[in-house]
Amino acid sequence: MSVGAAPDWRGDVRRLLATPGARVHMLGAGGIGMAGLAHLLAGLGQRVDGCDRGVPRTVDWLKAGGIEVAAGHDPAHLEGADWAVFSPAVGPENPERMMAERMGLPLYRRGQVLAVLAERWRTLAVAGSHGKTTTAAMIAHIMRARGTGVSWCVGGELAPDNAPAGLGSGEWLVAEADESDGTLALYEPELAVITNIEFDHMEYFGEEAELVACFEEFARRAGGVVAGADDAEAARLGRAVGATLFGFGAGADVRAEELVAEANGTRFRLCWAGGGVGAWLPVTGRHNVLNALAAVAACRHMGVEPAAAVAALATFRLPRRRFELVAAAGGLRVVADYAHHPAEIRALIEATRQAGAERIWAVFQPHRYTRTQMLGAQFPAAFAGVAGVILLPVYAASEEPLPGGREQDLLAHFERQGGGAVELAADLEEAAERVAARWQDGDWVLVIGAGDVEALGPMLKERLSRAR
């Protein structure tokens, strides 16, 4: 069957979820969003297994929870399955996906299943081009600190469990709603959070208007909306639906004033109609203050007063691969971050400066040929002020190479714009050698990207330990 083509696909998913012991096979189970969904499905009585072409750490987490994940994609994995779910990274040419369609096996996108599964709770769904994982993590952290028994399913590994999902006994679910494949428009949450809206995911949305329309449908289906006042599209959409707005400006309903940036966090005054309280956020970056404002505004809807939410955020830790310190010695630090859009890289470098960095080396793995092709000219300015940039080959994420979308094309943008010391590395090993030949005490090295570039962190840590 074609994916989502059935007129009553929601009813079909509900029936499958209500079938005790039904076996669901997860294609791309190691993806962070898929792993979280698999965990929830298993906890609610489904027999879950999956496959993934690699063996990311999420696979080990799933196996520790009793969920078997096979290596690679093989149609034989579908034998005995009652239905299947696939991630946005699993393309139409995937052999298991093709076989499932030929067999007529019920087959759904991750977002379809999570949208229906979320009907079991009062759901708060967090969306946005940037910051949605951290915002969702902050909300889950606040609710857990308040002892609400919240459940969550987000696109990052949350402290202290290092888990992307958890089943609680309470009435609320915090879900990260992904826009990359259009399934964002299928959610019907009690509350929607929209951090910002910026053109991305060109592999699915042909133009920015289509992406904006997806967010508009998401907002229309929600019972209430919290939206960013400092982002033009999010603010426009928020005002159109009567949203609670958050931001730095006087027009925001929940806002931050009197910001004081420190090396290990930011102090500010949180203000809302009729009240205000001093706040300490133990992570750097103005973008994370915005994420905190969104979280406080959302939790207020969930029954948590702003002062209590702020108190909980004082112990917040970022998810893995969000400004994650992976190595340090002699004043030299290596930080891994998931940033892959120019706006995210700009915010990352600003946060690194706030943390005390004077000289920064960046190793960047571009993510997707489509994104590199469409946004290539914006990347050089995002790296402004760094000592040097090492570009890795584009992480394809199942895409085929495109003219203008390769790492060589990105290098050409840097050279045309006078982007400083920029060079190509053929692979992670070469990147590690180039960095190790340049770093000095006091330097910061940023390992940037959403692909497998995170493996560079341990490689640099090993070199750093050998040099000491």
* pLDDT digit string, tens, across residues 43-67: 999 999 999 987 678 999 999 999 9
Is 416 exposed, middle or buried (CB count within 10 Å of its CB: 0-12, 13-18, 19+)? exposed
Q: Residue 421 in 3-state DSSP?
A: coil
- CATH architecture assigned to 9-109: 3-Layer(aba) Sandwich (3.40)
**Beta-bridge partners for 23:** 47
Percent of the chain with pLDDT over 70: 98
* 136 within 8 A of 59, measured Cβ to Cβ: no
Strands 163-166 and 172-176: unpaired
How far apart (Å, rounded) are the C-alpha atoms in residues 375 and 22?
Answer: 43
Domain coordinates in residue numbering, the chain: 9-109, 121-313, 324-467
Does pLDDT of 77 surpass 70? yes
Does pLDDT of 4 surpass 50? no
Q: For the stretch 427-446, what's the b/e string if a residue is b when 16 or more beta carbons lie within 10 angstroms of its beta carbon? A: ebeebbebbbeebeeebbbb
| Mean pLDDT on 82-109 | 94
Helix, strand and coil percent figures for the chain, each rounded to 5 = 40, 25, 35
Write the pLDDT tens digit of every residue in 382-436: 999 999 999 999 999 878 999 999 999 999 999 999 867 999 999 999 999 999 9
Is 206 exposed, middle or buried (CB count within 10 Å of its CB: 0-12, 13-18, 19+)? exposed
**Beta-bridge partners for 275:** 272
From residue 206, how far is each of 86, 337, 397, 447 by CA, in Å?
A: 22, 27, 18, 30
Fold of 121-313: UDP-N-acetylmuramoyl-L-alanine:D-glutamate ligase (3.40.1190)
Strands 360-364 and 444-448: parallel
**H or E stretch including 71?**
strand 68-71
- Sole residue written with tokens 């969000």: 322
pLDDT of residue 201: 82
pLDDT of residue 5: 53
Strands 224-228 and 360-364: unpaired
Is 11 exposed, middle or buried (CB count within 10 Å of its CB: 0-12, 13-18, 19+)? exposed
Taken in order 162, 164, 167, 171, is the CA torsion positive or negative?
positive
Q: According to CATH, what is the number of the domain 324-467?
A: 3.90.190.20
- Sole residue written with tokens 């706006």: 343
Write the pLDDT tens digit of every residue in 232-266: 999 999 999 999 999 999 899 999 999 999 999 99
pTM over 0.75: yes
Does pLDDT of 88 surpass 80? yes
pLDDT of residue 50: 97
Average pLDDT, the chain: 94
Does pLDDT of 16 surpass 70? yes
Peptide bond just before 189 cis, omega within 30 deg: no
- From first CA to last CA, the distance across the chain in angstroms is 59
| Mean pLDDT on 140-154 | 97
- Sole residue written with tokens 């592999």: 203
pLDDT of residue 468: 62
Q: Angle at Cα 75 formed by Cα 31 and Cα 107, nearest 5°?
A: 60
Q: Residue 192 in 3-state DSSP?
A: strand
Helix and strand numbers, DSSP H then E, in the chain: 16, 21
